[in-house]
Amino acid sequence: MSKKKKVRVELRKNREKPPRENDITRDYQEGDGRADDARSSERVRAKGNLSRYRTVVQDESADGSTMPAVNAETCIRGRVLRVHGLASVVETDDGRVFRCAVRRLLKSLATDERSVVTTGDVVWIRLVGTGSRDQAAGAGEEQLPAELATEPAEDSAPSLESRTSTIAQEGVIERVEPRHGVLTRASRRREHVLVANVDQLVIVMSLVEPNLKPHLIDRYLAAAQQGDLKPVLCLNKSDLADAVELQSLIGLYAQLGVPVFLCSARTGAGVDRLREQLRGRSTVFSGQSGVGKSSLLNAVQPDLALAVKSVSEVNQKGRHTTTYSQLIKLDFGGWVVDTPGVRQLSLWQARPEEMEGYFPEFRPFVPLCGFPDCTHTHETSCAVKDAVARRFITSRRYHSYLGLFNGTTEE
């Protein structure tokens, strides 16, 4: 049995510091002394701005984690299938599915994340009203609430939600295990973890409707490297484009070591190769709305019956059909996560001087630059800029580098 230790962890501040009054002299006459008295009565440090800490019990082997320890006799290990609002759907190691809330302590931990739990997390849950595994095994079943379950249409294959609409009783997530293989982005100055504990990222892009955005591909490649994911590029709707015109693009990413698949969810072209790429791996599908992520997954495994919509005829942009990430078990082996479409992708906590590392074609030229701290933007004697001028590095990839370096986002 592992040893326990007590540590102090920082919690989120429950009150914001009140704004300082900057008009205290407006209603005072000059020289009457009341303005000085008002200024001296101000707080130096607001009470709500004080740090908040709490003592929690952790495993002695915990490596920098702020998560509390759990009792393996009263808690069950599982994996988060999807997060929908305040509820998380968790499948335990023995195959049962529970609807869970998050322990208040976990939500109060001081982190930069939008949510402490995300799809794909390995968690420990405690069943409500039960205290042991034996009691958990005899737990009754109840129906998933309306916001987490949908009724399958008549004469159609059962949807993923309907296949998990009957779940065991409710539980509480007590601990989230350390993550590996994450896809994350910056969102309103906070970290938005889209999915955790996956092996590879399939970047789904459509060749038309909506049009291909190479700069977004480059951002995804950087996000994959940042999250320790193997990138795979899937170009969908190949039946609507000329494959000859795509050879330069395919060749560019193939030289960078990125597998490229030309697919069509409508005709089935390339689906068999994509299925083999997914077999036995944990994969996340990500891309813009309307590129055909759900359609491709329906083609890979037809009984999924994921909801799909057509592209808007007004602006040729995708419509948000998938509204939350969900972890799906594949019949032929492996897991896949279908994510909502994104319009912009900003890297989380990526410093400008780190951006050159996300472009492997820069590496042979960086040591040849005239300055050791060259940013490859405005300096003279820059070997990277010379390589762009001599077409050893494509101008499009260099433009993507400038966008990441300057922190700009492109749709």
Binding-site residue set for GTP? 236-239, 287-295
203-241: buried (b, 16+ CB within 10 Å) or exposed (e) per residue? bbbbbebbebbbbbbbbbbbbbbbbebbbbbbbbbbbeb
* Cis? peptide before 210, omega within 30° of 0: yes
Residues making up the annotated binding site are 236-239, 287-295, 369, 374, 376, 382
Residues making up the annotated binding site for Zn(2+) are 369, 374, 376, 382
Closest by CA position to 175, among listed 83, 246, 76: 76
Q: For residue 160, what is the enclosing H or E element?
A: helix 160-163
Is beta strand 166-176 parallel, antiparallel or unpaired with respect to 97-102? Answer: parallel
- List CB contacts of 21: < 8 A, sequence separation 6 or more: 42
- List CB contacts of 274: < 8 A, sequence separation 6 or more: 202, 234, 261, 263, 296, 300
Is residue 93 within 8 A of residue 77, CB to CB? The reply is: yes
Torsion of CA 130, 134, 136, 137, to 10 degrees: -160
